[in-house]
Structures are given as structure tokens and as C-alpha cells.
Amino acid sequence: MRIGLALSDALDFIHRQGLTHRDIKPQNIIFVNGHPKLADLGLITEIKPPDQERTLVGTPGYMPPPPERPGTPQADIYALGMVLYVLSTGRNATFFPEMATTLVEREDPADFLPLNTIILKACQPDPAQRYASAAEMHRALQEIQPAPATG
């Protein structure tokens, strides 16, 4: 949850600057003083209009399904959803949307279901069905975050 909140906030910042990351994947997440950060900024580019030609860059498994091309905020949201899938299930992105049996066999699998709902929405094949923005995805993650323990 903490990683999703930090990365969705970072992605929102990038998008508000008129940029898109284009290669969000677990290997491009680093930790600085224990805080997750998006790395490998070499593919960041300006957000282009939908009708403008975009190069096909990114990492298979984290790029949206064809015919959608990478290089849009919606494609970045898809990639972030896929990263959350990989981190939360321990499975390779090629297994999406299957859940690991260890999640289903847990004492309370319902703990994973709210996050899984967010992942499924972020990774919808139709970009119009995804979160409208990284900020919207961030708010959804905040809503399911467990309340801090009081003592």
C-alpha cells in the first residue's frame, strides 16, 4: 500500500508537468532512505495528443495491450497497476489477472480484495475504464489504507 501511494503521487506529479514516464516496472523503482521512488527517467517525454505518432517504448507486460500504445498518462496508470499486481502477488506480470494461491489461502484473503479491485481498474484493457488520473488512483489507495493503530 505504501509503495502504491508513493508511486501514484509521483506519477501524478510527472503527469501534471505534461510528461509521461513510459517505463514503469519493478526494476525502475528504487528506495531512497526507505521511500520508493520512480527511477530510470530516460524515457520520460512530453504527453502527446492522441492523434500524434508515438514511439513504441516500454517493457512488455507493463505496456498496455494493443492497439493502445505507451506514452500516455493512461498507459502509465496501467503500468503502475501492473507493478502493484506483481508486488502484491509475487507473480510475473504475464500471469495477470490470476491471483497467487498463497493470497487465496491466507487466513483472511479479504485483506487483499480492496487492493485487487484497484489493480483491476488500473489494468483495464480499455483506457477509458481506468482511473482518469494518477491522482484519482492515489485517492482510491488512500481510501483502502488501514487506519493506524492507536495505543
Q: The domain that contains 69 carries what CATH number? A: 1.10.510.10
> Does residue 151 lie within any of the structural domains?
no
Range of the domain at 124: 2-47+57-144
With the CA atoms of 26, 30, 35 and 37 taken in that order, what torsion angle do they form, in degrees rounded to the nearest 10? -80
> Does residue 7 lie within any of the structural domains?
yes
> Does residue 92 lie within any of the structural domains?
yes
The total number of structural domains in the chain stands at 1
> Does residue 131 lie within any of the structural domains?
yes
> Does residue 41 lie within any of the structural domains?
yes
> Each residue's pLDDT tens digit in the chain (151 positions)?
899 999 999 999 999 999 999 999 999 999 999 999 999 887 788 887 766 666 677 888 899 998 888 889 999 999 999 999 999 888 888 878 776 555 556 556 666 788 889 999 999 999 999 999 999 999 999 999 876 666 5
> Does residue 87 lie within any of the structural domains?
yes
> Does residue 149 lie within any of the structural domains?
no
Which pTM value belongs to this model?
Answer: 0.88
> Does residue 150 lie within any of the structural domains?
no
Task: Determine contact, residues 18/45, Cβ cutoff 8 Å.
Answer: no
Measured distance CA(151)–CA(138) in Å, rounded:
27
Q: Which residues are catalytic?
A: 23
